[in-house]
Amino acid sequence: MARILVVEDDSDQLNMRKQVLEHAGHEVVAAESAAEAIERLAGCQIVVMDLQIPTREAGLRLIQAASGSTRIIILSGAAADSELPVDEFLTKPCSSRRLLEAIARFTA
Question: What pTM does this model have?
Answer: 0.95
Q: What is the DSSP string of 29-96?
A: EEESSHHHHHHH-TT-SEEEEES-SSSHHHHHHHHHHHTTTSEEEEEESSPP-TTS--SEEEESS--H
Instruction: Write out pLDDT tens, residues 1-37.
Output: 899 999 999 999 999 999 999 999 999 999 999 999 9
